[in-house]
Every structure is written in C-alpha cells, then in structure tokens.
Structure 1
Amino acid sequence: MNDTAGVRNFRNHLFDICESRNNNVELQLSAKVHQNGYFNELELMMREHNENIADRIEWKTNDGGAVKVQDLIALSWIPLQLVNPVREAKDPKKIFNPSEFKETYMYSSKGQCLKLFERLMSSPDVSEKSAGDYTKDIINEEVKSSFKITTILPELYDYIYARFADLYNGNDGSFGRIGAVKKLNNKTKNKKTPFGGEPIKSDVNISPDGFILPLFYGLQALLEKKKVNGKTIIDWVTDPKIFLDKHLSNIMGEYKGLFALCDYDPQKVGKAEQCYKNALNSFKMALMQDKIAR
C-alpha cells in the first residue's frame, strides 16, 4: 500500500481484473459503464440542469430509481449519433462510426444502446484515465456537448408524453379508441410523466413508448455541428421547446397517418425505421419553413 505507483497501476486495471474474476457471472453492462465513470459527467450535467430528474435515475445498478439509466442513454443517441467517427479502444486501427447506431434501438434494444455507448465512451478519442483513479474522464468536446443536449431531452420527452393524446385528437383522431392505448390506460391508475414523475390528469390518455419514440427522434433535425472557440460541438439550431410549441401539432397530423400502416400497434410503430425517418423529415421541413419565414 506504500507503493504509490503500484497502487495507481492496480486501480487502472482493477476493472479488467474484475472482469476476469467474473468470467462466468458477468457484471451487467450498466455496472461496467458506471464503474468506468462513463456516466459521471452526464450525471453531473443532469444534476446541474434538473436535480429532480437526476435523482430519479438509477445511475448505479440496484441503487434504486424510478428511471433506468438505459432509458436516458437511449435518448442520448439522438445527439451522439452525430459525433465524428472515433478509434476503437481494443484496436485503435479500427474505427467506430456512431452513425452505425440504428434509431429503432431506442425502442427495441435499450441494451444495444448501452453497448454502443460503452463502445463509444471507451475510445481513446473520447475518454482517458483519471489521475490516480480507475475511472475515465470524457475529453471529447462533441460528446460533452451531446451530454449537454441530453440533459434537456427528458423534459422534452415528458412534454410530448403529456400532450400526445390531445395532439393526436386535434388532428381528427380518436386516440382513446386505439386498443393498445385502452389497455395501457386501464391498468395505469396514477398517471405521471416518465422522467419527471409529474402527475397527468386522470382523464388524459397516456401513450405507449412505441408511439412516441419515433416522433421524438425527429428532434435530431434541430441539431447542428458548429465551431466554438476552435472546437467542434453539437448544439441546437433553434430553441426546441419553442419549436415544439409552434410546429408539433402540424407534425402530428402527418405522423399519425403512419399508425394505420402499422395496424395501430405501438410495437410495430416503434420498430419501423420508416416511422423515425418520416418524423425526422417532418421536423426538417418545419425548420425549413421557419428559415424561409425569416
């Protein structure tokens, strides 16, 4: 213990040792990501932006929390998908392109979202070992700016979640008559927003995630890369909340037409790549209208 260099070396390799020790009983990937410190900066940013939501997230496996960290990581790929290709940790000659992420993973494979997150964070272009510790610090400005974007996404998700039924009905729809919606609302007594846990009126029909996530993915259209003080970052083109207030009703008018093609089944909607692409295009068109109007 008096050998400072030896202790530091041990800490740097501690988690690799744990992985070898547990080759038959693997640690959950979320535990590994937490152990490496890949959630640290995101958690810090989230606490600075919204302490309530940060407290509701289970950052560490089995610590308890109304929101699984995987749900937040799934949303984080909306900005992270725009990050430049990076070197692989195990083989720096190989390149990982974050655009390999498939938008349907947000609904159909939260585990794959986390797996790709770990792969991105472990890149030597993204993180480096902390001084005197076995965790890693994020050094990539595009990733850091993506985390900043991510801190806002839970609030925007809750915003759409609480209004989805009204937006659908306002476009000549009857949301409450959809079988999956009836089933969800019949078994949900205390209706609350998923991330913030804010109460929703009992007479408002809440929506399955499969209906919301493809629409929510459209927010990526509001992001851009730009140079700030010589560094490339990812940032909002326009205020997302103001944009949603102005355009979401019209976007819903186009988006709801996809439901019939998917038999009004949220699982089919959530797994249909075309639903994500259509939503993204609708957001782009609305953004273009704003630019022309200026």
Structure 2
Amino acid sequence: MKLTMQLAGQRFAVRLSEAVSLAIPLHFNGPQPNHFGAATAQAKPMQAGDWVGDTRRGGSCNVPELSLNPHCNGTHTESVSHIVNELHSINRSARDLLVPATLISVNPVAANQCSDHYTPVLAPADQVITQVTLQRALDGIGNDWLAALVVRTLPNGRDKQTARYGDSHQPPFFTREAMQYLRLRGVQHLLVDFPSLDKMHDNGHLTAHHLFWEVAEDSHGPAPTAALQRTVTEMVFVPDSLRDGLYLLNLQLPAFELDAAPSRPFLLPLEPDHA
C-alpha cells in the first residue's frame, strides 16, 4: 500500500511501515517513569469470591485490574480540562487521524543564561526552553508543518524511560516567551519528552499550560477564545534513530471521558514523491 500527501506545494510519500511509537512502554509493577511522587502504576489479578483472574494461581484466565495516574505514570495526552473546571474530554480532542508534524531537538539552558520570564520568577539554576532556542530550531520551517510539534531535549538518554522526577531530578520547562512563540506559530498539538510544560513546583500557576490553551492565567474558567482543540502530550521518548525534520503524527488516544489519558503517538517518516 502506498500513501502520498501534498502540503504547502510539496508532495510526499508516507513510509507507513517505518512508523515509530513515541510512547514509553508502561511496565506495571516494574521500572517506569514517575512524576511528582505519584504512586507507581500497578496491576493485580481481579478476585471475585473464590475466583482469581490469574492462571498461575489456578484461575481460568488472566484478568488484571490496573491502577495508574495518567499524568504521572508515563506517556499521556491532556486536554484543556487539565486546568479548567469544565470537562472537555480528551476523547473529543485530536480528531485528525494524521497531522503534519515537526520534530526538533533542543538543549535546555540555565535560566540565568537567558532573558526570558516565568511565573513564579525563575531561579538561576532552572533549566528552561526559551523563545530563542525554539526560533533557531524552527528556522526555515513553515507554519503548515507546525500543526504538531515534537520537542526532544538533549542529552537524550534512555534513562528518560524510567526517570523518577523529583526534588533531586528537576525536569526542564518552557518560559513564558517560548509558549507565546509556539502559540504565534500555530502549534495545535505539543509533544515533549519531559513530564510537564511547567516547572514542577510553581505555586500552582501552570503558566505554560495557560498560555498554550489561551486560558487567563490563574483562572479555571476558559474564555470563549480558549483553544479547546489543542492537546499536550508529555513524557514521550524520541529514539535517536529519528532525525529532526518533517513527519506525520498519528496520536492514538483511548475513548476516555477525562482530562487526560495514556496515549501512543506515532511519527510517520516522509520522503519526497516525484511520481
């Protein structure tokens, strides 16, 4: 099967057989990424009276019950309801099957090495992604290719797949100017390989989330202009085999009526099609 697409005057062949998942496999009861000190994701056999859903314990079949926090236990996608009172479920977001996407790699910088801002005030040692960093990485990339943006931070160690983020392991985050720039460029689906757009301990402001969804800062009620269709996907892992550049994104989500859910984003490589 051959799939071709045309965008911004360019024609591409989609390499379907080379699609790469950005989701971190979630090993229940095993090594897994963790944010904010949340309980780890666990699986246990269902029990009903004398019956147990575990063939190793004499059950007729395996029926595990799962316990997880989608925001803290691995790759997940959020809707605007992460920060507002009303439920605009993730099941109603990301309806496009294939989305033009750009993958970039960036080096976070110490806050005392930039002139960007944040709420609360940046600490000198905070590791941030700045507007200048994004401008340089996206130089020459047209807005047509920024419906989705995947941000890979460097260094890109495999320890991201089992990292326990906490006071001794503070992840990077976006500055105010960086988020305003991404909004200006028209990014609808933002994917990152760290656990939150915002600083881990930010006094509850979630500045970057509010800017991305165009919700008044420190408010939990979306304005009529709030960008309800946008999604944020956090804790992806982008293998080194994927080069920075243009792709199609297939963001796979379960039909959960919640603000967030575990997700499985795929990047589909492209090549010029001269047929």
Structure 1 or 2, whichever has the larger Rg, is: 1
TM-score using structure 1 length:
0.27
Q: Give the structure with the higher percent strand.
A: 2
- Greater RCO (CA < 8 Å, at least 6 residues apart): 2
Q: Give the structure with the higher percent helix.
A: 1
